């Protein structure tokens, strides 16, 4: 049969676009399939300040430059909402909402979606006080009062990180104990910029054009109270965008894709890169690194 592409990359965020640069520059017939605009989470990011050689750049501008670079070596960019990846061993099939494509190798770079608080105004105020990335946006709230929602490791680690910028930090948790490791709990409990509000959940975001505060509900008494904050960082978890590979058995319990050092899954010829894989630091620079490896190893797979 006629296989349409050497490699199909699912997702055109930093990981997918880096994979496209390496694969297409190596001469592979490459396609990026993307359900939204190219750039992934970059286009939701006001400012990138921690990507080597770029001291400060808007996420949208960096996304545009990556896209120009990725397509300059011939990688195609096609709209598609991937629903399934089927392994036919000597070739792979990528099934979209209305069309299927065949290829020799697949790179999954579909990222994650933040678990939201589920409150009115939340999506509208993303970038205007609602942020899902303290490492990225924390410095924007220098000297302000902010809140983190969540009691797991990442919530507490990001809380400690934020205290280097902010005036005061509230941690809102539903229970009366943290889920996080003791070592990070101790750091939080000994930090005098942090006030922990136990047994409360966010009830309403205050502010029309930008975040001005948060109304909290006591989980026992249902009593409401308000705190004045300029930013709210929900850390109640991420959801990997990997449901379309659920039948392949390549994910962990949370849905993150398991890969080896070559970014290859246990299914030969299926690679994964970026935020959708099991890893410890989800940032642009690590997504690009994963994508580069996946693109290069996909070339080796096809030529072996």
- Which of 25, 29, 41, 297 touches ligand FAD (CB under 6 A)? 41
Our answer to whether residue 96 is catalytic in this structure is no
Distance CA(12)–CA(35), nearest Å, equals 9
Closest CB to ligand FAD among 46 and 224?
46
- Which of 27, 68, 72, 81 touches ligand FAD (CB under 6 A)? 81
Closest CB to ligand FAD among 79 and 189?
79
Is 11 a residue that touches ligand FAD (CB under 6 A)? yes
Is 138 a residue that touches ligand FAD (CB under 6 A)? no
Is 50 a residue that touches ligand FAD (CB under 6 A)? yes
Q: Which two tokens mark 224?
A: 């409401």
Is 263 a residue that touches ligand FAD (CB under 6 A)? no
261, 99 contact by CB (below 8 A): no
Distance CA(140)–CA(201), nearest Å, equals 25
Sign of the alpha-carbon dihedral angle for 173, 176, 178, 179? negative
149, 175 contact by CB (below 8 A): no
Part in contact with ligand FAD (CB under 6 A); list of ranges 46-54, 144-152, 189-197, 263-271: 46-54
Part in contact with ligand FAD (CB under 6 A); list of ranges 105-113, 186-194, 195-203, 249-257: 105-113
Is 36 a residue that touches ligand FAD (CB under 6 A)? yes
Q: Which member of 6, 96, 103, 137 is catalytic? A: 137
116, 205 contact by CB (below 8 A): no
Q: Which member of 87, 96, 103, 136 is catalytic? A: 136
Closest CB to ligand FAD among 196 and 291?
291
Burial class (CB in 10 A: 0-12, 13-18, 19+), 91: middle
* Cα-based torsion angle of the residue sequence 45, 51, 54, 59 in order, rounded to the nearest 10 degrees: -10
Is 230 a residue that touches ligand FAD (CB under 6 A)? no
Closest CB to ligand FAD among 34 and 87?
34
Our answer to whether residue 133 is catalytic in this structure is yes
Distance CA(188)–CA(235), nearest Å, equals 15
Distance CA(23)–CA(42), nearest Å, equals 21
Distance CA(172)–CA(151), nearest Å, equals 8
Distance CA(249)–CA(263), nearest Å, equals 16
Number of Cβ atoms within 10 Å of the Cβ of 175? 10
Is 285 a residue that touches ligand FAD (CB under 6 A)? yes
Is 132 a residue that touches ligand FAD (CB under 6 A)? yes
Non-local CB neighbours of 133 within 8 Å, separated by 6+ positions: 45, 233
**Residues paired with 194 in a beta bridge:** 169
Q: Closest approach of Cβ 199 to ligand FAD, in Å?
A: 28
Our answer to whether residue 81 is catalytic in this structure is no
Closest CB to ligand FAD among 127 and 185?
127
Spatial CA neighbour of 215 closest among 137, 126, 121, 128: 121
Is 110 a residue that touches ligand FAD (CB under 6 A)? yes
Closest CB to ligand FAD among 196 and 275?
275
Q: Closest approach of Cβ 283 to ligand FAD, in Å?
A: 3
Query: Catalytic residue positions?
Result: 133, 136-137
Residues at the site binding ligand FAD, with contacts judged by CB under 6 A? 10-16, 33-36, 40-42, 44-45, 48, 50-51, 80-82, 109-111, 131-133, 136-137, 241, 244, 274-275, 282-285, 287
């Amino acid at each position: 049969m006629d296989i349409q592409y050497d490699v199909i990359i699912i997702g055109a965020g930093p990981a997918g676009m880096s994979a496209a640069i390496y694969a297409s520059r190596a001469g592979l017939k490459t396609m990026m399939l993307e359900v939204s605009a190219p750039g992934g989470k970059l286009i939701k990011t006001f400012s990138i300040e921690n990507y080597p050689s770029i001291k400060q750049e808007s996420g949208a501008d960096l996304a545009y430059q990556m896209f120009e670079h990725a397509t300059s070596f011939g990688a195609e960019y096609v709209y598609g909402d991937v629903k399934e990846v089927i392994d036919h061993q000597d070739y792979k099939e990528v099934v979209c909402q209305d069309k299927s494509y065949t290829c020799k190798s697949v790179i999954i770079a579909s990222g994650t979606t933040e678990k939201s608080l589920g409150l009115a105004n939340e999506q509208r105020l993303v970038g205007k006080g609602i942020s899902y990335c303290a490492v990225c946006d924390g410095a924007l709230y220098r000297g302000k009062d902010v809140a983190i929602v969540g009691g797991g490791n990442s919530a507490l680690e990001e809380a400690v990180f934020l205290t280097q910028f902010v005036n005061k930090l509230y941690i809102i948790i539903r229970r009366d104990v943290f889920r996080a490791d003791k070592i990070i709990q101790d750091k939080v409990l000994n930090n005098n910029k942090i006030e922990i509000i136990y047994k409360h959940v966010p009830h309403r975001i205050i502010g029309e054009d930008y975040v001005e505060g948060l109304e909290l509900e006591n989980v026992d008494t249902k009593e409401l109270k308000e705190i004045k904050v300029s930013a709210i960082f929900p850390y109640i978890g991420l959801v990997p965008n990997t449901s379309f590979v659920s039948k392949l058995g390549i994910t962990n319990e949370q849905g993150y894709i398991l890969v080896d050092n070559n970014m290859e899954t246990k299914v030969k010829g299926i690679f994964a890169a970026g935020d959708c894989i099991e890893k410890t630091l989800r940032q642009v620079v690590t997504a690009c690194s994963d994508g580069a490896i996946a693109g290069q190893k996909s070339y080796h797979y096809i030529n072996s």
